[in-house]
Structures are given as structure tokens and as C-alpha cells.
């Protein structure tokens, strides 16, 4: 369990689950009103810390520069939603609901919180910002005579949510929020290659040859007289010639013609992100002030 003295080192530090996965940043710590013990830590989760989840701090521990809690990241992100800014306190029903969600026995928690308190039920209030403000209500260790709502330089009474101004001695620290913008990669669509078969009509002209019969006549000469008189003088006879022709024959074969593949190109575009940040201003009362050079006034 994280001790009260370690709270300054808890806030605004990373929170990891038992498997080493980062969950978010610790933003608020809630103390028990009667015992003053830290009970809950809120963790900023989601894109740009848009959500805030409650985690029991009793089994958390500081490891180097971060906090480790024995709960899985998905379980913490799914914790019951509680309004952190609703007066700086958790009601008994809200605490009961959170303890049930994390499987922590409510009776044992109530016994720890009310030991020596005549059976009173404990509630939790919060410390915000840099860890110098605790819950509204008297907290053990507060300055004598302190009333609810008064500010102390240590772990005194409560301030408004997110107020990180601290007072120490004769100086006051002014803080402000800074906006940090990140990017996330998400799927916008899919591209695929699909091969299918189509049939096309093609036309090609080829030469073909055909044989035709033709009669040739030659007169009887001394050169062919012997061949002409070799047969009978008068008779019947037949002579036959076989004719040929060519015709087109079509065959097909599959041949590779190209390779097609899918690839991606990255294009960088500029997008403007707008948000709101809070800044503290310090104003003086009861003293005379004068402008010095280009220093801006404290009043917003």
C-alpha cells in the first residue's frame, strides 16, 4: 500500500497493471475522511485521457517512476463511472459499488475504516493536482482548528478539482495545463486484388492454299510422239487427280503476360487539433502594484 507521504510522488505519474501494460496517468487520490488513509487513485485513460477510472490504492505500489496496481488494464477501464468533480467526495453507495466491482469485501473495508470510530461509516475525499490538497472535512494530521474547506500548506482541507496551486511559506506556485497531442493508427478501408476470367472474340487473317484442276493441251511433236503413240490407237480411258486445300486450325495456350501486386503509399497531411487548457492566475489584494515592462497582468 502506498503511504500518505508518497502521494506527492503518485500524482501525474504513469500507472501500470500487473502485466506491465501502461493504463494512464494518476490524477487524483481519495483519502478516508476519518483515518486519513489513501483509498482510491483515479487514472486518466482513453484517447488524450478523456476518461477517468477509479482504482483501489491499498494494494498499489511505487516502482521507480511509476505506480503498479494488481488489476488488468481492461478491468480498470471498465470500472463504474463516478463523477470526480461532484463535490470532492465519494458517497458510501459509490464506494460500495466500486469495491464490489473489484471484488473487495466491503465489510472488511468498513471494519478497517471504523476501528475506534464508534461504528461510523467512512467516506473518501480527494487530493488533486500535485498532491497538496486532501478531502473536504477534517483529516488526521491537519492543522489544529482547521474547518472543512480551509486550505493548508500540507495535507489540509479540500480545493476545487484540478487546482494545482500550492502555498509554502511566503511563496505561491502558479501552474497551468499543457495540451499534448498524439496520433493513433486506425483502419479506414481495405483494398484487394481479385482475378476472374472473361471471354473475348479475337480475329486473325491467315493465308490458306487450295488446289484446282486445270487442263493443259500440247501439240504432238517429235519430242513427245513416242509417248503419244505408246497406247492403243482407239480406246477409252480415265485419268484422276486428287485435289488438296488448307484450312485454319485454332489452338490456344496460356502464357503469363504481367505480374500485379498491391502496395501502399503514405501521405502526410496537416490537421489542426483544438482543445482547452486551464491556467491559474494569481492576483494580489491589499497592496499597490505597478506594471513592469512587458510583463502580463496576473488577472486573466
pLDDT digit string, tens, across residues 189-209: 989 999 999 999 999 999 999
Share of the chain above pLDDT 90, in %: 18
- pLDDT above 50 for 116: no
Q: Map out the domains of the chain as residue ranges.
A: 4-173
- The CA distance from 79 to 45, in Å, is 11
Q: Which residue has the higher pLDDT, 168 or 113?
A: 113
Torsion angle (degrees, nearest 10) of CA 167, 39, 83, 126: -10
Task: Pick the range with the lowest mean pLDDT from 78-87, 110-119, 218-227.
Answer: 110-119
Q: Which residues pair with 14 in a beta bridge?
A: 25
- pLDDT above 50 for 122: no
pLDDT number for residue 257: 92
| pTM score | 0.39
- The CA distance from 108 to 105, in Å, is 6
Is 24 in contact with 49 (CB distance < 8 Å)? yes
- pLDDT above 90 for 210: yes
Q: Which residues contact 250 (CB under 8 A, 6 or more apart)?
A: none
- The CA distance from 133 to 128, in Å, is 6
CA separation, residue 46 to residues 14, 83, 184, 218, 239 (Å): 14, 16, 11, 109, 104
Output the CA angle 162-178-172, nearest 5 degrees: 55
Whole-angstrom Cα Rg for the chain? 47
**Of 2, 162, 126, 130, the residue nearest 66 (C-alpha):** 2
Confidence of residue 145 (pLDDT cuts 50, 70, 90): very low
Highest mean pLDDT among 28-37, 53-62, 281-290: 53-62
End-to-end CA distance of the chain: 41
Crossing angle of helices 92-101 and 106-113, in 10° steps, is: 130
| Residue showing cell 490458306 | 208
Topology at the third CATH level for domain 4-173 = Photosynthetic Reaction Center; Chain H, domain 2 (3.90.50)
**Of 67, 53, 50, 54, the residue nearest 2 (C-alpha):** 67
pLDDT in tens, 249-263: 999 999 999 999 999
Share of the chain above pLDDT 70, in %: 71
HSE-up (13 A, CA, CB side) for residue 149:
1
Highest mean pLDDT among 99-113, 200-214, 228-242: 200-214
- The CA distance from 26 to 4, in Å, is 15
Is 165 in contact with 298 (CB distance < 8 Å)? no
- pLDDT above 70 for 11: yes
Q: Which triple of cell numbers denotes residue 287? A: 497592496
CA separation, residue 116 to residues 34, 110, 146, 155, 206 (Å): 10, 12, 22, 22, 111
Amino acid at each position: 500500500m502506498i503511504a500518505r507521504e508518497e502521494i506527492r510522488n503518485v500524482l501525474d505519474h504513469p500507472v501500470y497493471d500487473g502485466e506491465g501494460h501502461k493504463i494512464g496517468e494518476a490524477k487524483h487520490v481519495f483519502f478516508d475522511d476519518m483515518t486519513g488513509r489513501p483509498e482510491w487513485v483515479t487514472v486518466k485513460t482513453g484517447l488524450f485521457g478523456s476518461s477517468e477510472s477509479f482504482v483501489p490504492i491499498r494494494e498499489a505500489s511505487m516502482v521507480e517512476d511509476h505506480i503498479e496496481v494488481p488489476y488488468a488494464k481492461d478491468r480498470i477501464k471498465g470500472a463504474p463511472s463516478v463523477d470526480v468533480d461532484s463535490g470532492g467526495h465519494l458517497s458510501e453507495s459509490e464506494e460500495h459499488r466500486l469495491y464490489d466491482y473489484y471484488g473487495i469485501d466491503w465489510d472488511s473495508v468498513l471494519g478497517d475504516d471504523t476501528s475506534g470510530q464508534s461504528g461510523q461509516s467512512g467516506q473518501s475525499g480527494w487530493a488533486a493536482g500535485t498532491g497538496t490538497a486532501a478531502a473536504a472535512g477534517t483529516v488526521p494530521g491537519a492543522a489544529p482548528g482547521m474547518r472543512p474547506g480551509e486550505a493548508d500548506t500540507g495535507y489540509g482541507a479540500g480545493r476545487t478539482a484540478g487546482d494545482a496551486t500550492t502555498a509554502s511559506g511566503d511563496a505561491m506556485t502558479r501552474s497551468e495545463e499543457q495540451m499534448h497531442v498524439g496520433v493513433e493508427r486506425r483502419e479506414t478501408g481495405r483494398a484487394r486484388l481479385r482475378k476472374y476470367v472473361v471471354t473475348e472474340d479475337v480475329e486473325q487473317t491467315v493465308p490458306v492454299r487450295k488446289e484446282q484442276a486445270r487442263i493443259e493441251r500440247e501439240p504432238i511433236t517429235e519430242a513427245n510422239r513416242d509417248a503419244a503413240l505408246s497406247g492403243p490407237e482407239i480406246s477409252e480411258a480415265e485419268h484422276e487427280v486428287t485435289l488438296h486445300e488448307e484450312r485454319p486450325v485454332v489452338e490456344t495456350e496460356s502464357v503469363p503476360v504481367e505480374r500485379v501486386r498491391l502496395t501502399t503509399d503514405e501521405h502526410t497531411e496537416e490537421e489542426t487539433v483544438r482543445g482547452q487548457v486551464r491556467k491559474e492566475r494569481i492576483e494580489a489584494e491589499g497592496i499597490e502594484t505597478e506594471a513592469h515592462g512587458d510583463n502580463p497582468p496576473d488577472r486573466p
